[in-house]
């Protein structure tokens, strides 16, 4: 099993998208990329911890490749808006790929270059590609939130 970590706005939407992919064995939502140790959701929402809402994806590379995960990542959000996805604004909603290995870094950078070169988006991609730091799982009520709360939805 391998791990991939992505931030693409509201982590509820990102989590459900990755969890449903064949080859993904587990997902968990949480916070990464900031300075506060064990931040709470309330702290992250202040936009002062530096953390992004993110999804940690555990996957079987014999069933789904990291490149396939990257392709999904690019499709599920707008990677051209800095610190924003839809009505959600703040650094916690930034677009970011947190790589765990040098190979993931290389693949993420190549994928970003290809997306920009292809002109897929009208504006330049602002997605950060950063070495993964400590991932702090979000509170239990956030885990698989949309599966538990059928009427809930992320703002878009």
Q: At what angle do helices 11-19 and 66-75 cross, to 10 degrees?
A: 140
Annotated catalytic, 10?
A: yes
CA–CA separation, 154 vs 79, rounded Å? Answer: 17
- Give every CB contact of residue 111 below 8 A, 6+ residues apart in sequence: 67, 70, 71, 74
The residue with tokens 């959600």 is: 88
Tell me the sheet residues that pair with 136: 31
> 4, 8, 10, 64: which is the annotated catalytic residue?
10
Do residues 82 and 126 make contact, with C-beta atoms less than 8 angstroms apart? yes
Show which residues are catalytic: 10
């Amino acid at each position: 099993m391998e791990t991939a970590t992505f931030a693409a706005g509201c982590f509820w939407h990102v989590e459900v998208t990755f969890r449903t992919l064949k080859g993904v064995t587990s997902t968990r939502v949480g916070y990464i990329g900031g300075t506060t140790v064990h931040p709470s959701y309330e702290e992250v929402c202040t936009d002062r911890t530096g953390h992004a809402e993110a999804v940690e994806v555990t996957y079987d590379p014999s069933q789904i490749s990291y490149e396939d995960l990257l392709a999904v990542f690019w499709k599920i959000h707008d990677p051209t808006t800095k610190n924003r996805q839809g009505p959600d604004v703040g650094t916690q909603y930034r677009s970011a790929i947190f790589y765990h290995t040098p190979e993931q870094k290389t693949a993420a950078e190549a994928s970003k270059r290809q997306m920009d070169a292809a002109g897929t988006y009208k504006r330049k991609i602002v997605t950060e590609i950063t070495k993964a730091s400590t991932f702090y799982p979000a509170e239990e009520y956030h885990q698989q939130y949309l599966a538990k709360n059928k009427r809930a939805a992320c703002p878009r």
